[in-house]
Structure 1
Amino acid sequence: MKLLFIFLFSLTISAQTENNLEIKDSLAPKLENIKWISGNWKGEAFGGQTEENWSEPSAGSMMATFKLINDGKVSFYEIEIIREVGNSLVLQLKHFDNDLKGWETKNETVDFPLKKITATQVIFEGMSFEKVSENEMNVYVDLENEEGEIEIVKFKYTK
């Protein structure tokens, strides 16, 4: 009985320590804490070349354009923003065909609420940014496959 009590007590202490570490490691949901995302990034995904260009924070937002090129032709574009909403951030985007015809309706956006920011990660629900170095960044996107299962697609970018 005493051994069980010590084990349960140590689990409680461990969980409290992990919770405290998470709080200490988390940064405030401010654009200044994620400005490392800004820049002109290039990489590969979906069997083609990708470009993603993020602005510096200004006027309560950051904006980006994304382009996927397959076989020398644009497959699709995205316009993305990260903006301050209340005491948090939200990432919103819209998709466009190569002729700028929108995928979403006029007033519809794909939204990713913020979950957490650390010195090297910005984690939104369904999309995350990871700072590898000053000139390297990974972006992870949750996509639903044809079977309805979620797959994580990794975009490996360099400046």
Structure 2
Amino acid sequence: MKKLIVIVLVMTASFFSLSCKAQVEKTLEPKLENISWISGDWKGEAFGGQVEENWSKPSGGSMMATFKLINNNAVSFYEIEIIREVENTLILQLKHFNNDLKGWETKDETVDFPLKEITANKVTFEGMSFEKISDHEMNVYVDIHQKNGSIETVKFNYTK
């Protein structure tokens, strides 16, 4: 009877170990085709208003996006974003603009987010990540640096 219990425990432990390993997502190569699911016209709510983010399909070694926030039927700000392949990795870069297209950053300055990891349903950059929920839903998480030095992570839930 003790041998049977030991065998059952060993088999259970082996099964548990295998199922845990299967749940760990495989890291994918830093290629645009591995994140092409981001492309599309996305809409959601954030910062007390409506947000739109429109991502192109990969072409020419990059993907590009426009973003706008609308509060009280007026644009609060815009962003232009790109994800591009650089030296066997990806980088996300963006620039912010007021509603009159006057830039927040200087002419040659960008806000850069180096790639950390890509899996089948998530791409993580330093300070921003995209999570695929379904073919028509994704979450974007952005770390926003506060004036007091703390970091607040804002979640954007988008649908298309």
Pairwise TM-score range, normalised by the shorter structure: 0.7 to 0.9
Q: Please, what is the CA RMSD of the aligned residues?
A: 1.7
Q: Which moved more, 1:24-33 or 1:38-47?
A: 24-33
1:52 lines up with 2:53 in the alignment: yes
Deviation at 1:84, TM superposition (A): 0.2
Shift of 1:146: 2.8
Task: Give the superposition deviation at 1:147.
Answer: 1.8
Distance 1:97 1:48 in 2: 16
Shift in Å, 1:148: 1.2
TM-superposed CA distance for 1:96, in Å, is: 0.2
Query: What fraction of aligned residue pairs are identical, expressed as a percent?
Result: 74
Matches within 5 A, 1:58-73: 58-73=59-74
- The TM-score with structure 1 as length reference comes to 0.85
Tell me which residue corresponds to 1:106.
Answer: 107
User: SS at the partner of 2:60?
Assistant: coil
Per the alignment, residue 36 of structure 2 pairs with: 35
Q: Distance in 1 between matches of 2:154 and 2:145?
A: 10
1:136 partner amino acid = E
Alignment: residue pair count: 142
Q: Could you say which structure has the larger radius of gyration?
A: 2
Q: Secondary structure at the match of 2:36?
A: helix
Name the CA distance, whole Å, in 2 between partners of 1:25 and 1:71: 43
Q: Deviations over 1:63-120 (max 9, x none)?
A: 0000000000000000000000011000000000000000000000000000000000
Tell me which stretches of 4 or more aligned residues in structure 1 moved more than 3 Å: none
